[in-house]
Structure 1
Amino acid sequence: MNKWYSIFTAMVLAIGVLAGCGAQQEEEETSTTEEEQAEELTVDVQISEGDEMIAEDEFKVEEGTTLMEVMESNYEVEQTEGFINSIEGIPTNEEEKMAWMYTINGEEVMVGANEYELEDGDEVLFNYQSWE
Structure 2
Amino acid sequence: MKKFAAFLASFLILLGVFAPATVTTAQASATKNIKVTYTLKKNKKQIAKKTITLKKNGTVTQGLKKGWKVNDKGGFISEIDGHKQNNKKKIYWTYTVNKKQVNVSADKKKLKNHDKVEFKLSKYNG
Match of 2:3 in 1: none
Give the gaps of 5 or more residues in structure 2.
1-9
Q: Distance in 2 between matches of 1:45 and 1:30?
A: 30
Q: Distance in 2 between matches of 1:91 and 1:60?
A: 25
Name the aligned partner's letter for residue 125 of structure 1. Answer: E
Q: Distance in 2 between matches of 1:130 and 1:68?
A: 21
Specify the SS of the correspondent of 1:71: helix
Specify the SS of the correspondent of 1:69: helix
Shift of 1:73: 1.5
Is 1:61 matched up with 2:61? no
Specify the SS of the correspondent of 2:65: helix
Is 1:103 matched up with 2:60? no
Alignment of 1:30-109 (within 5 A): 31-32=25-26, 34-38=28-32, 40-109=33-102
Q: Distance in 1 between matches of 2:21 and 2:97?
A: 39
Q: Distance in 2 between matches of 1:49 and 1:33?
A: 39
Name the aligned partner's letter for residue 59 of structure 1. Answer: I
Contact 2:50–2:67, Cα closer than 8 Å, also in 1? no
Shift of 1:27: 5.9
Two-structure CA RMSD over aligned residues (Å): 2.4
Match of 1:126 in 2: 119
Q: How many residues align?
A: 114
Which structure has the larger Rg over C-alpha atoms?
Answer: 1
